């Protein structure tokens, strides 16, 4: 007796997940073939570029970015459909087209030629699976989750967070060459430090921290990491730059990894260049990790773009810690008044009355919009919007304190 056609059929039993051999592949300098030129291929290609692979891209079309990589000779692009000979000499292949039939041919050809192959549209039919990958410090976390990418990503993130929270796990005491890493921590919010900056923090034996760095990150360091407070408080206690340089050299000379944690970007009014010179003079390895500069990020957080199509085509960032006319100042305020773009002033709270007067005297209109933004990336952030002619009185009345970023120009009226 047969079942009527309308009877519900039991759900298909999913194919069993094969046992995987977790292994890291060294593909640097080795041929890897990517078949397909769309979004999936783009993801695979950038991971392969980072790993140093010799990439052959096979596809009749490619995204603009992939085509640009080919133009820059960062990969070789064969502009046609897949042919079996494309896998000659390959160590690994990726079937990334949006045509299941083509992907099936790529996988079958790879099987015949004993080349491991990942299939984007049906991972279970490939011989290589792509894990969710995360990196922090010297550690790489790769997670497979029975072909469930969302679960794999969630588990990967938890694993990376666990490694970061533990600092560098046992093995920290193993002999290492001392070095210094200058890390730009961004405008204060711990979430705005770069991924590389977080990784450097996880490797640190010593952290020499500025006052305006994202200091909440210090609580995530392992207990044995030494923290040095190198704050420079305007008008208050400050560690001399020479002492900071000495500490960096001293600790690194003992074989320690020293992270110099700075606010913003280490090369934007951060004396990072001086610290690099001191380390190099001592024969030490030094790395610079750029940061999100407050000159752009703080206005952005207040809704102010430093450039705006049809309004402003350029911007200039200057230090205002020395007032106009000071013998040590190298800023030509009169030239800045004639510039016609956005002027971003850092460290200018005390000097702003004389700066605004100098800009007006040089021809900038007193009604030019000004935004003064205090604690731009912090919960205590606030913005005072005023004009060049009134800024001195308004910031005094508002009781603004450092750090405050000033934006002068038409864009300062935006985002209010």
- Give pLDDT, residue 171: 46
Predicted local distance difference test score (pLDDT) of residue 135: 75
pLDDT at residue 378, rounded to an integer: 85
Q: In angstroms, rounded to a whole number, what is the distance separating the alpha carbons of residues 43 and 35?
A: 13
Show me where the domains of the chain are located: 31-130, 135-165, 179-292, 296-413
* The listed CATH number (3.40.50.1950, 3.40.1010.10, 3.40.50.800, 3.40.50.1820) that belongs to domain 179-292: 3.40.1010.10
d(CA 214, CA 184): 10
pLDDT attached to residue 286 = 97
Give the contacts of 259 (CB within 8 A, at least 6 positions apart): 180, 181, 183, 200, 201, 203, 204, 206, 207, 208
Q: Tens digit of pLDDT per residue, the chain (416 long)? A: 333 444 444 555 555 667 788 888 999 999 999 999 998 899 889 889 989 999 999 999 999 989 999 998 999 999 999 999 999 999 999 999 999 999 999 999 999 999 999 999 988 899 998 888 877 767 788 888 776 777 888 888 888 778 766 655 544 444 467 999 999 999 989 999 998 999 899 889 999 999 889 988 888 888 899 999 887 666 666 789 999 999 999 999 999 999 999 999 999 998 999 999 999 999 999 999 999 999 999 999 999 999 999 999 999 999 999 999 999 999 999 999 998 899 999 999 999 999 999 999 999 999 999 999 999 888 889 999 999 999 999 999 999 998 999 999 999 999 86
Its sign, for the CA torsion 35, 37, 42, 43, is negative
Q: What is the pLDDT of residue 404?
A: 95
Q: What is the model's pLDDT at position 4?
A: 41
Q: Which are the contacts of 98, defined by CB distance < 8 A and separation ≥ 6? A: 36, 38, 121
Which pLDDT score is estimated for 7? 44
CA distance 238 to 87: 62
Kindly report the pTM of this predicted structure.
0.74
Active site residues: 210, 232
CATH superfamily, domain 296-413, is: Tetrapyrrole methylase, C-terminal domain (3.30.950.10)
String of DSSP letters for 15-44: PPPPPP-------TTSEEEEE--SHHHHHH
* Diameter of the chain measured on Cα atoms: 103
Eight-state DSSP code of residue 221? S
Topology at the third CATH level for domain 31-130: Rossmann fold (3.40.50)
Q: How far apart are CA 401 and CA 396, in angstroms?
A: 9
């Amino acid at each position: 007796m047969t079942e009527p056609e309308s009877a519900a059929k039991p759900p298909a039993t999913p194919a069993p997940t094969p046992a995987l051999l977790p292994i890291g592949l060294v593909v640097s300098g080795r041929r890897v073939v990517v078949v397909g030129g769309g979004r999936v291929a783009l993801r695979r290609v950038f991971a392969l570029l980072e790993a140093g692979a010799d990439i052959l891209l096979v596809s009749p079309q490619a995204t603009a970015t992939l085509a640009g990589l080919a133009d820059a000779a960062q990969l070789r692009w064969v502009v046609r459909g897949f042919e079996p000979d494309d896998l000659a000499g390959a160590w690994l292949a990726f079937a990334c087209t949006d045509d299941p039939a083509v992907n099936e041919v790529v996988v079958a050809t790879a099987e015949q030629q004993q080349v491991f192959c990942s299939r984007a549209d049906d991972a279970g039919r490939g011989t290589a699976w792509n894990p969710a990958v995360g990196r922090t410090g010297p550690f790489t976390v790769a997670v497979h989750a029975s072909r469930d990418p969302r679960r794999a990503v969630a588990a990967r993130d938890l694993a990376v967070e666990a490694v970061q929270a533990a600092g560098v796990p046992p093995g920290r005491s193993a002999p290492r060459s001392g070095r210094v890493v200058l890390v730009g921590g961004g405008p204060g919010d711990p979430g705005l430090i770069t991924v590389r900056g977080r990784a450097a923090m996880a490797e640190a034996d010593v952290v020499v921290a500025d006052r305006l760095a994202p200091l909440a990150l210090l609580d995530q360091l392992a207990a044995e990491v030494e923290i040095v407070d190198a704050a420079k408080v305007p008008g208050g206690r400050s560690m001399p730059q020479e002492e900071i340089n000495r500490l960096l050299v001293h600790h690194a000379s003992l074989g320690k990894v020293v992270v110099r944690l700075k606010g913003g970007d280490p090369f934007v009014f951060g004396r990072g260049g001086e610290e690099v010179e001191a380390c190099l003079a001592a024969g030490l390895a030094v790395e610079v990790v750029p940061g999100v500069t407050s000159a752009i990020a703080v206005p952005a957080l207040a809704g102010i773009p430093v450039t705006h199509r049809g309004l402003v085509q350029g911007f200039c960032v200057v230090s205002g810690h020395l007032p106009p006319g000071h013998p040590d100042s190298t800023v030509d305020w009169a030239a800045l008044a004639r510039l016609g773009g956005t002027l971003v002033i850092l460290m200018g709270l005390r000097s702003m009355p004389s700066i605004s007067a100098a800009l007006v005297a040089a021809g900038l209109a007193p009604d030019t919009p000004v935004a003064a933004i205090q604690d731009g990336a912090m919960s205590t952030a606030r913005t005072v919007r005023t004009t060049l002619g009134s800024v001195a009185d308004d910031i005094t009345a508002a009781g603004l304190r450092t750090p405050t970023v000033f934006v002068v120009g038409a864009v300062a009226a935006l985002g209010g």
